[in-house]
Chain A
């Protein structure tokens, strides 16, 4: 078992144990008449337990080649429209808030900057290694980068009003040493979460023209 898989395995157990503990703690709070928060804590615990049981469904060990994560979503837009948005890499921070910026250096090469937990910054350079118009973009990190990864996005139009299936695969080797922050970000299912939420916002933006939010809305004192 390589190091990344070990981290992931530990997180899964932490999630399961944490979930179980929250269920129990929530139930205890209920018995001390703080029922509302007790119910919520217990429900959250149940959610974590569920998550633990699902962990690994979308990420798997890729032998000597690190971890692979994969997410897919069907979007009610043409493959042409979806491809065109994604190919303008500078737009990606709109749907992946963890990305601070993406700068296109030339047609193939780009520079990426992301914020990770704790406010630290991770940078990498990527180049497009395969591109099929309206169907596929594949890339890998090159040169001086805080992490090493390669990935692809596929656009697959379906019949019967089922939209276009967008599928992202990401393969990475967990970085070590100075890039510990990146390691923390990439450990466990975080990349899955980032990809899933990114695809969700991509779908929202492409289907509705905006991203659903409750920011700036009125609320009372807490």
Chain B
């Protein structure tokens, strides 16, 4: 089959690889009908995530048709079912799954000990996202093996086309959980750093959950324009305006009630600390570049929440922890518990409350995936979200 394969920093290629097969009884094989490139895939392209190996198949946002199921009697899926597949892999039986902390599943990461050495305890396995995160082959491919297919994948109605439901696999629940973590109350103003796909979903979700205004912060005009099309959104370009001053003005001097940081470990910035981070990361004195996170902490109102859907991997430097403590902030973060959100968010799509396909700017065959990665990263051609057709 064809698949998008990682060979090193800045080196991804579409090549022929063997087809997947059923390995464990609870596996299923999915024929991928639509897949997407996630902003977090760019961290892989840029070589920021450790324990990648040349030959790894990428991709964790994918959906398709069940073509084979394993021998377990727990399968609810049948051959021919059309499903979306969460990017987190969860067993459904452990302490964490039973508490709906699906992305903390104890049993789905075969390489858990690699993570334990760094983080103390390991989260769930993920598709196509390094060996430390399980080493599972991803879904930017024609076929995928889905472990614990009796837990994660959800059937979707034929009346909804792929593009409307595809983002249930990651970015819609991720943006939604980020907004839910803000515990939004009537009258709240929410600031969102990063207007990439997850930021766009977080903005839309914050408004759905009752935010009075959302302040969208980015430096890419097309992303800011997309955010500002939604009533209630105020766009702020951090290259043109002083973000902290502007946020103060827009919140009557109080600060946003919650700040969503949808940027992650490769933040860009025009501030002094951003250059400091680049220098330190280049010398490996720090691993991540938390410019946006620092600003979110600084901006947040007293007693407010900083919600972090942006991905972090290692060690942060110069965090304004005094500000966080002094204002009594709440921090919420982590990989999305996708399974918890599948049904409620599908219901919102069916009711027409949201059509997540609004973020799509490019539709390409999988053969063009390698170029698409670079176009997405370099924000060429006003690229915000790429979906790929593998067949």
A interface with B by C-beta (< 8 Å):
26-27, 30-31, 35-36, 38-40, 42-44, 46-47, 50-51, 74, 76, 161-163, 193, 196-197, 200, 203-204, 207-222
Contacts and interface: CB of A to CB of B under 8 A. Distances in A.
Interface stretch (B43-51, B254-262, B270-278): B43-51
Given A212-B110, A216-B21, A26 B72 contact: no
Contacts of B20: 217-218
Contacts, number: 134
B284 A219 contact: no
Given A35-B47, A207-B94, 5 more contacts: A35-B282, A47-B114, A212-B134, A215-B23, A218-B57
Interface in B64-119: 72, 74, 91-95, 98, 106-110, 112-114, 117-118
Question: For chain B, what secondary structure do more than half of its interface residues adopt (helix, strand, loop), or is it mixed?
Answer: loop
Contacts of A36: 8-9, 47, 52
A46 B112 CA distance: 17
Interface residues of B, number: 59
Contacts of A200: 112-113
Nearest to B14: A220
B284 A38 contact: yes
B284 A27 contact: yes
A214 B110 contact: yes
Contact of A219 (B55, B283, B314): B55
Interface of B: 1, 3, 5, 7-9, 13, 15, 17-21, 23-26, 47-48, 50-57, 72, 74, 91-95, 98, 106-110, 112-114, 117-118, 125, 134-137, 141, 145, 147-148, 282-284, 287, 314
B125 A209 contact: no
A214 B24 contact: no
Given A40-B50, A76-B95, A219 B56 contact: yes
Given A76-B94, A207-B107, A219-B17, A39 B47 contact: yes
A208 B91 contact: yes
Contacts of B53: 222
A128 B134 CA distance: 37
24 contacts: A27-B283, A30-B282, A30-B283, A36-B9, A39-B47, A39-B48, A40-B52, A43-B314, A44-B50, A47-B118, A50-B118, A76-B93, A76-B94, A76-B95, A162-B95, A200-B112, A203-B94, A203-B106, A207-B107, A209-B25, A218-B20, A219-B17, A219-B56, A221-B54
A214 B55 contact: no
Nearest to B12: A220
A162 B72 CA distance: 26
Contacts of B57: 218-220
Contact of A214 (B25, B95, B137): B137
Nearest to B70: A210
A217 B24 contact: no
